[in-house]
Amino acid sequence: MRQRRTFPRLLGSLLLAAGLAGLGLTGATGATGAPRAEALRPLGAIVPAPASVTPGGAPYTLTRATAVRVDADGTGDTDGRATRDIGRYLADLLRPSTGYPLPVVDADEARGGILLRLSPGATALGEEGYELRSGRTGVTLTAYRPAGLFRAVQTLRQQLPAAVEKRTVQPGPWRIAGGTVTDTPRYAYRGAMLDVSRHFFTVDQVKRYIDQLALYKINKLHLHLSDDQGWRIAIDSWPRLATYGGSTQVGGGPGGFYTKDDYREIVRYAASRYQEVVPEIDLPGHTNAALASYAELNCDGVAPPLYTGTAVGFSSLCVPKEITYDFVDDVIRELAALTPGRYLHIGGDEAHSTSHADYVAFMDRVQPIVAKYGKTVIGWHQLTGARPAEGALAQYWGLDRSSAAEKEQVAAAARAGTGIILSPADRAYLDMKYTKDTELGLSWAGYVEAQRSYDWDPATLLPGLPATAVAGVEAPLWTETISQSVHIDRMAFPRLPGIAELGWSPATTHDWATYRLRLAQQGPRLTALGIDYYRSPQVPWAAE
Ligand code: NGO
């Protein structure tokens, strides 16, 4: 690969300031009184910030004659299917607003236009990296692997005016600034979690969120599939889990569950957006829905009623009973068989009604079951109080004000080899209220405004944590107060893009003062996508 220039903070700020001044902000009117077309977005003024940007040369302008060309003789996509699918995805994104035909063709059937190519030589780009080159005659997206091309498409999309996201024909012009972006992610794990247990969300609602996550290069979709208030995945060997345990939700609504085909459809759709589904069955606490469905899982043999409140920490599987492990084995076997991804999340948080000794004994038995079915364990960071299996990841959800001892327990596990996913609740939890006036959400971890959620460094958050132990970041969205897509939109945006940037962009680009300007330009794009985001007063939102 060619020499790369990193995007130093000062240069970045200057370019951005100059570029944003030139943007002239949509909605302003020119001398004639007509709305001024959005000026050219400076190369790299996107979210997440790219690793390396070299602006220069003439922009490329999409026209009615533009073709999307695919060249798929590359590594890992010998029949060209993945590359062609990404080309189609791109054309589908651009057609409604541009009104152009944008045929998807083999690379040698046309010239110029937008070329998507896999290059077997571009190993330095890794799984998800890409290069975007834009000039007068065309745009070329190059990657080593299909996932890299998919990420490149998101960059190209964000370089175009926000109106490109609309579903009706818009005036244009559709220009992409000239130059080269070379980009690889800082962390391999960049997740978003959706709690479908407290409130159930349909397959279509999950797909909507997947599409939103794709725009910010998220690559893991963690589904919190079971909790006290609802069991959301069909398990053939224990059918009442879903049919009875899934029959309600917080507040007493009808709940719901995914059939195995529903779940496969979510997995397939996520994969088409290069997101790996990480299913979670929360154990041994947060299990009231299961305990209510099968009396024999309870130590006293009596099934509790279904639960529709929001308290935590009151339920536990019966650690001494053998049937508990038959149950866990069956559930993990069936879920692992449905899940092509590497991970299986076993919860492990707030097991307040399980003794420490029982908790450790339980985790000693359950982690090998996950391994037996070919998956890698993820647990909430309380797992570090037991004996995390080799290769396991622990998901840290503590706070600035968490005790030094709790933080050290996690850091020590990391030094002993456990990988860490960072989801500090007072930064990364999307269900925390922004301010005291936020209608939705909780506030037990504090208020989390846009700046607070962005302004931390995954590498230094936990004292004594080796930088190499950080697998990445994840933004969880718990849904005690959230029951509709518009609620998801309002809580995830604008914080989700910030967490996504922490996961993707090099530490050298981390700077709130310049980030907020790039974020401000996302406003009209989110609106064009139909996302009614929280207008944080900390961000100088671009006019719409
Ligand atoms: C905690 C708790 C969840 C709540 C959430 C609400 C974890 C890991 N366990 O996070 O059950 O839904 O807070 O913010």
DSSP string, 311-335: --S-----TT-HHHHHHHHHHHHHH
Model confidence at 24: pLDDT above 80: no
Residue 22 lies in a domain: no
Which protein residue has the closest C-alpha to ligand 1 atom 11? 312
Pair (115, 204) in one structural domain: no
Predicted TM-score of the model (pTM) = 0.94
In a domain, 11, yes or no: no
**CA–CA distance, 421 with 190 (Å, rounded to integer):** 9
* Statement to judge: residues 385 and 479 lie in one domain: yes
For residue 197, pLDDT beyond 50? yes
For the segment 294-319, the average pLDDT, to the nearest whole number, is: 96
Tell me the pLDDT of the chain averaged across its residues: 93
> For residues 95, 97, 100 and 102, what is the CA-based torsion angle, rounded to 10 degrees?
-30
Which are the catalytic amino acids? 350
Give percent above pLDDT 70 in the chain. 92
In ligand 1, which atom is closest to the CA atom of 429?
14
- Dihedral, CA atoms, 356, 360, 365, 368, nearest 10 degrees? 150
Query: Hey, what amino acid is at 97?
Result: S
Mean pLDDT, residues 345-370 taken together: 96
CATH number assigned to the domain comprising residue 340? 3.20.20.80
Q: Which of 350, 380, 431 to mutate to test the pocket of ligand 1 (most atoms within 8 A of CB)?
A: 350
| Structural domain contains residue 378 | yes
Question: Which pLDDT belongs to residue 76?
Answer: 56
One domain for residues 151 and 209: no
For 12, counting Cβ atoms within 10 Å of its Cβ (0-12 exposed, 13-18 middle, 19+ buried), the class is buried
Residue 79 pLDDT grade (very low, low, confident, very high; cuts 50, 70, 90): low
Say yes or no: 280 and 329 in one domain: yes
Is residue 535 one of the residues assigned to a domain? no
Q: Tell me, yes or no, whether 373 lies in a domain.
A: yes
Domain co-membership, 450 together with 377: yes
- Distance, CA of 458 to CA of 345 (rounded, Å): 21
| Domain boundaries, position 390 | 189-504
Are 275 and 167 members of one domain?
no
**Are residues 383 and 296 both part of a single domain?**
yes
| 271 & 376 share domain | yes
* Predicted confidence (pLDDT) at residue 345 exceeds the cutoff of 90: yes
Determine which residue's CA is closest to atom 6 belonging to ligand 1.
478
Residue 19 falls within a domain, yes or no? no
pLDDT > 90 in the chain, percent: 90
Q: Report, as an integer, the average pLDDT of 495-507.
A: 98
Residues 175 and 239 in one domain: no
Number of domains in the chain: 2
Higher pLDDT: 130 or 7? It is 130
Domain end point (choices 159, 183, 207) = 183
Which residues line ligand 1 at a C-beta cut-off of 6 Å? 312, 349-350, 380, 397, 429, 431, 442, 478, 480
Distance 478 CA to ligand 1 centre (A): 7
Same domain, residue pair 172 and 256: no
Residue 104 and residue 142 in one domain: yes
Specify the 3-state DSSP secondary structure of 255.
coil
Final residue of a structural domain among 183, 205, 225: 183
Same domain membership, residue 264 and residue 221: yes
**What spacing in Å lies between the alpha carbon of 480 and ligand 1's midpoint?**
9
Tens of pLDDT, residue by residue over 227-278, are 999 999 999 999 999 999 999 999 999 999 999 999 999 999 999 999 999 9
CATH number at residue 87: 3.30.379.10
Closest CA to 540 of 471, 486, 494: 494
Whole-number Å distance between alpha carbons of 320 and 325:
9
Residue 538 lies in a domain: no
